């Protein structure tokens, strides 16, 4: 499966003979003008290291992100709910 993946999204020079680099960018821009990864970059750079790591150790997270299981009735959705800004006034 992995041979279909580019190692990074900038490796457009190995796109197939039917799409040029320009055409590929044009198609991506046509699919959406939004750049959701920019917001992600902004949030991740402000995140404090190791905070929230316990979430990654929970059974719920491990089971959900395991792609090796073949059970098609497994849990496809993980919904994490909480109150944003807990302790806001203390921690500004």
Note whether 13 binds other proteins by CB under 8 A: no
Note whether 22 binds other proteins by CB under 8 A: no
- How far apart are CB 66 and other proteins at their closest, in Å? 9
d(Cα 79, Cα 82) in Å, to the nearest integer?
10
Neighbours of 61 (CB within 10 A): 14
Which candidate, 80, 52, 48, 49, places its Cα nearest to that of 64?
A: 80
Binding mask 28-67 for other proteins (x = CB under 8 A): x-xxx-x-xx-xx--xx--xxxxxxxxxx-x-xx-xxx-x
d(Cα 55, Cα 52) in Å, to the nearest integer?
6
Structure tokens at 87: 């302790």
Which residues contact other proteins (rule: CB under 8 A)?
1-2, 4-7, 9, 11, 14-16, 18-19, 24, 27-28, 30-32, 34, 36-37, 39-40, 43-44, 47-56, 58, 60-61, 63-65, 67, 72-88, 90-92
């Amino acid at each position: 499966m992995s041979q279909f993946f580019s190692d990074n999204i900038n490796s457009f020079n190995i796109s197939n003979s039917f799409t040029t680099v320009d055409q590929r960018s044009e198609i991506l821009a046509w699919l959406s003008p939004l750049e959701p990864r920019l917001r992600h970059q902004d949030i991740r750079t402000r995140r404090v290291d190791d905070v929230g790591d316990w979430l990654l150790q929970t059974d719920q997270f491990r089971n959900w992100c395991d792609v090796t299981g073949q059970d098609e009735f497994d849990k496809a959705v993980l919904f994490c709910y909480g109150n944003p800004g807990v302790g806001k006034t203390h921690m500004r």
